A and B are shown apart, each in its own frame.
Chain A
């Protein structure tokens, strides 16, 4: 059970890092999500904790938009600037929101289909569908970009 929590920590951290692009903030939010969840619950519900983290990221993002972008919020946590990676990131940004969300959760945060479905509030089938469509879209975009 402790290992499950450890894995969940990693997943949520990866997700938050994608959203916030800053490792320190990502860890802060991850920890905050855990603390908030466990203040009210005794079992482990991955989707619930994910949802808390998701909302916290949104809140933090909104706050950062209205403030000046401060020094501790750099975008150069992406140390690797190789071409492929840049293209992949750009392609992802060009997907529709739901498609992007599914790919982020499934492949960046490494969540299971169930966890993804519960967090997004959609069915497993919908997750499969969106995933497939998003992947196809990505392949198309990348083929074009890398020519």
Chain B
């Protein structure tokens, strides 16, 4: 005799009566925070990925082009051009992080289990990783293929990025709707272009003054970012300040 089968049948219970209802109503299993972060990746707009790829490609192109066609420009000019690409990435990442405010979703989102602070944290994690990868790539490119060196490249590339991030985040947290997009765009362009123009006159400014100025701007940008993020992630009163 098949003992297994006999055992199974000897103790077979009647069909469970409340299974469907219970399982439908069961709110579990719930998402963990890391699962939540992953779930947010698909809500980051494609333009961020496209821009990242384009920027790195443009940087590669610049370096190659200059090495071949205009070797005298390899050096600071190349680095400044590369660094003038970063404001656009900064603007896009800032606008992604600020999406909730831009489209009036903050109230709804704050009342959810993964509330606005955690949502912003998730977005920042994702975008921070992407930005880091792009900045690292650009820094390595200019550090290795130009005589400027990695340390200085890092400073020159980070400056406009942090600056525009800070400014854009601040703009998005104050204004809603399309205008903030335009203002932010303009500021990104401004920083980008002034970077290039400054580069033209950079030849006459001694390096360490230029570097210190850039570092100061980096610090300003970082502080602005931190303050604005604190404001955004202070979910409980975010709406209060805008009523």
Physical contact A–B (CB less than 8 Å): yes
Supposing A103-B7, A110-B8, A142-B1 touch, asked if A42 and B14 sit within 8 A by C-beta, the answer is no
Interface hit among B25-33, B49-57, B200-208: B25-33
* Chain A contacts for B35, CB-based, 8 A: 42
Are B28 and A38 in contact (CB-based, < 8 A)?
Answer: yes
A64 to B72, CA, bound (A): 92
B 1-41 binary contact with A (CB < 8 Å = 1; else 0): 10110111111111011110011001111111001000000
For A14, the closest partner residue in chain B by CB is B13
Query: Does chain B have a CB within 8 A of A30?
Result: yes
Are B13 and A6 in contact (CB-based, < 8 A)?
Answer: no
In A85-144, the 8 Å CB interface with B consists of: 85, 88-89, 92, 103-104, 107-108, 110, 135, 138-139, 142
Size bracket, chain A contacts: 35 or more
Most buried by A among B1, B10, B14, B30: B10
Q: Report the minimum CB–CB distance from A20 to chain B (whole Å).
A: 10
Q: Report the minimum CB–CB distance from B173 to chain A (whole Å).
A: 32
Main secondary structure of the interface of B (DSSP, over half): loop
A49 to B207, CA, bound (A): 66
A92 to B14, CA, bound (A): 20
Cβ 8 A contact of A9, one of B16, B27, B28: B16
11 A-B residue contacts at CB 8 Å? A27-B19, A38-B26, A38-B28, A41-B29, A42-B30, A85-B9, A85-B10, A89-B10, A92-B7, A108-B11, A139-B1
Are B22 and A31 in contact (CB-based, < 8 A)?
Answer: yes
Size bracket, chain B contacts: 20 to 34
Supposing A5-B23, A9-B23 touch, asked if A44 and B11 sit within 8 A by C-beta, the answer is no
Are A77 and B4 in contact (CB-based, < 8 A)?
Answer: no
A23 to B13, CA, bound (A): 7
In A58-106, the 8 Å CB interface with B consists of: 77, 84-85, 88-89, 92, 103-104
- The total number of A-B Cβ pairs within 8 Å is 88
Cβ 8 A contact of B18, one of A14, A31, A92, A142: A31
Q: Report the minimum CB–CB distance from B3 to chain A (whole Å).
A: 5
Supposing A27-B16, A88-B6 touch, asked if A14 and B23 sit within 8 A by C-beta, the answer is no
* Chain B contacts for A110, CB-based, 8 A: 8
Q: Report the minimum CB–CB distance from B137 to chain A (whole Å).
A: 35
Most buried by B among A10, A107, A110: A107
* Further pairs besides A85-B6, A104-B11: 8, Cβ < 8 Å: A23-B13, A27-B19, A38-B30, A44-B29, A84-B10, A108-B11, A135-B4, A142-B3
* Chain B contacts for A13, CB-based, 8 A: 13, 16, 19
* Chain A contacts for B27, CB-based, 8 A: 38
Are B11 and A27 in contact (CB-based, < 8 A)?
Answer: no
A64 to B229, CA, bound (A): 58
Q: Which 7 residue pairs are nearest across A and B when measured between Cβ atoms?
A: A38-B28, A17-B13, A88-B10, A107-B7, A85-B10, A42-B32, A108-B11
* Chain A contacts for B1, CB-based, 8 A: 84, 139, 142
